[in-house]
Structure 1
């Protein structure tokens, strides 16, 4: 039996108050996804101020996504038990305080700590906000529309993050990309208690703390090991850390099989549609993270544009992601789930491959067109992933199911930066006697035009290899989707 506190009136459920509630829920979603990518454009100016090492730069970018990936499943389950609105508001408070700390961080170490706290707060916001949609909109069609809007803000936030970052950096210092969170979170904290229902399940028992420890203890060392192996090559310490993560995750999965109320519902993965959704979100976010980060560096450090000019060139992709997220559900109704997933993944791959037309001295139109086409595919596929997650389980378990899908998004984003980003860096460094990064090389070039041009050529080559790798992942996932999914209606396997 599910307990709702306070009970929503008939008018509130699916009515005007519900849509106002959705508007409030969109605010944290936009912020959390924006903060994945908002630092892409800020890194050059941030680097000049805080002077982080190459390893610290990676941690500043990576740790936020790692914390989200490690905690989303736990926070989704916790919200089902203690109340989704409660955990949403607590998470917003943590996120806001951590944003202030990040904005005024006096050193790279403090900024990394702030990003850790932001990841913890963000992990409470995503699953609770999406799960509450199932309470606000019991009607299937209204819920699908609401999920499309939610996904548009989530996926669009990642694309629009560099644009907002560029506008802020044009007028203010790098800390402003974090302070923008404060007024938005204030609106959520002010209106959330009045517009959002409380939802907790009285049927679920206490959360299994050993499972929590095993899930976090498995995910974080695994990603840490993968990141270091990809960046530095195989070494005993990285292999040992990654192996420890794998071992803990094996123990975690075995424990889930024995529990009557597991933290991770393994039965979901027996459904082909759910498996395809998780794979599509991981492949999509891996390629999107690499594309967004590498092209941001390209536009500034290779073509010589400032942050605002680089941000404006990202508008076509942001619009494509946002609009197609809104329309993903309607496309699925017309074409069927299998064809829509396959089409979306192929479009994303084509867009990534079009970046092969980009060069040091030209090809900017290839970037604009390719990123926009990729955005169409990302928008459609991400909407389907969110809809599958919400429809996969009864309402009282929606938080835990959403936690799984959102973990795949954040894990994909982190792995995209760690693996594809490191692949691009490896190709870059192999091109000549350069510094650890393109920025380092340009800063210490001493006016050597030949060295600068060679470094830029090598960076573009690395970007080509990484985005092509992302495209191959997407095409492989498209083939899996076409072969695996038989149902043409979301929720029919439930």
Structure 2
């Protein structure tokens, strides 16, 4: 009798392994970029692609692979995805050029998109009891958040002892254990869902996103030009056509009609924007700590620990707190705390600010933790029961796109400021610092330009979060039950 009782929790532990890896690989390069830049010499544009092509691949394909897993078998998709994730991680560890690393990171993202939705869906089979299932989903969310938070910390510890590619090799033993144990602890389950996956919708959503973001990156790195303008326009038109197509399909990839509900829309935005803020500021702050303040990577990683711990603990306790204060107060607190935490980075400059950086990660970390914990539940609770699956998939997708868009758009904003205000030696601060023969005044100008870009980015994100706090207070008039 004990084995059936233990099996669900052992199965949960097995599932959490790839979930943790997928989340970690969204942030593991934040502290690696200065050393990676030294070794591979990527351009400013290539550096941003190395960071965020992974998140775009995950976010663009998450809903599609969720549908595929429902129709053709979730365990089968998990096994294929885990094998591809391990293989592409091994390749990324030994990449010799920026182009190779970008391609392998894209493959890792495709594999990650197969793992997340199927892993979450399998929990329903493991835990038929509603109370146990709720606890399991809470642990799942905490593991996902912890992965994002500890990615830079783990990378810092590895870089202190090994080369930059070691941050990907740690995936291999975890993947191996999963491939061995999953067939014994998880059962293959297919949902009864009609219709086929619309391949054209998958292609247009992914291509529209990539074209639009590529144009933003090119303009930020090199100024306005006809080529990125044309590509950006094509990307926007493609995304517009994608949305219109979803309205006509009997079985759409994304049910865009769900966005007619204000609370649902607010939940999805809350899934996207805090992740964008977290990824962009973690990336920029990592460069500041190493390239401006000159801290070794291990010390920079340790400074991220308090924020990571607070974020993870907040994910665990938030569901109980929300039961007392309500969803409206939770969302207002989420956006307000992120805004306050980010504004503390305005006190960081070329001469220091380590204490303010740690305080920023701790305060904003509470807001990020709230976002991780409540977004999916709020989105599901805001729509009819029969549309809960679609709502959950969109909520999960918003997290991944937020992580990618934060670096792509907000990172491009910082890059544009650096290009306009910097000494013009190179496209990024790490490249400028590592260029031989650059005089000290030019280095100082580069550091000042980078800090200005960081500050401007922080202000933009903080203003958006304040606006979302106001919308949360106004749009959610009555308590919204948590699913």
TM over 0.5: yes
Question: Which residue of the other structure, out of 239, 261, 264, is the alignment partner of 1:271?
Answer: 261
Question: Which residue of the other structure, out of 421, 437, 459, is the alignment partner of 2:450?
Answer: 459
Question: Which residue of the other structure, out of 367, 371, 375, is the alignment partner of 1:385?
Answer: 375
* Compared CA separation, residues 270 and 117, structure 1 to 2 (3 A): same
C-alpha distance after superposition, 1:94-117 (max 9, x if no partner): 111000110111222211111111
Matching residue of 2:474: 483
* Compared CA separation, residues 213 and 421, structure 1 to 2 (3 A): closer
Q: What residue ranges of structure 1 are gaps of 5+ in the alignment?
A: 1-8
- Please tell me whether residue 468 in structure 1 is matched to residue 466 in structure 2: no
Question: Which residue of the other structure, out of 349, 372, 393, is the alignment partner of 2:362?
Answer: 372
Q: Which moved more, 1:308-317 or 1:263-272?
A: 263-272
SS of alignment partner, residue 254 of structure 2:
coil
* Partner Cα distance (2:438, 2:195) in 1: 66
* Partner Cα distance (2:400, 2:232) in 1: 18
- Please tell me whether residue 325 in structure 1 is matched to residue 315 in structure 2: yes
Tell me the TM-score normalised to structure 2 length: 0.93
Alignment of 1:25-424 (within 5 A): 25-388=15-378, 400-424=390-414
Contact 2:381 2:480 in 1 (8 A): no
CA deviation after TM superposition for structure 1 residue 397, in Å: 7.1
CA deviation after TM superposition for structure 1 residue 54, in Å: 2.3
* Compared CA separation, residues 375 and 473, structure 1 to 2 (3 A): same
C-alpha distance after superposition, 1:43-101 (max 9, x if no partner): 22222222222222222112111211211121111111112222122111111100011
Contact 1:230 1:419 in 2 (8 A): no
Matching residue of 1:6: none
* Compared CA separation, residues 266 and 419, structure 1 to 2 (3 A): closer
Q: What residue ranges of structure 2 are gaps of 5+ in the alignment?
A: none
* Compared CA separation, residues 299 and 102, structure 1 to 2 (3 A): same
* Partner Cα distance (1:158, 1:374) in 2: 14
Tell me the TM-score normalised to structure 1 length: 0.91
CA deviation after TM superposition for structure 1 residue 445, in Å: 6.0
Instruction: Report the RMSD for the aligned CA atoms in angstroms.
Output: 2.3
* Partner Cα distance (1:26, 1:386) in 2: 18
CA deviation after TM superposition for structure 1 residue 11, in Å: 8.0
Contact 2:64 2:253 in 1 (8 A): yes
Matching residue of 1:20: 10
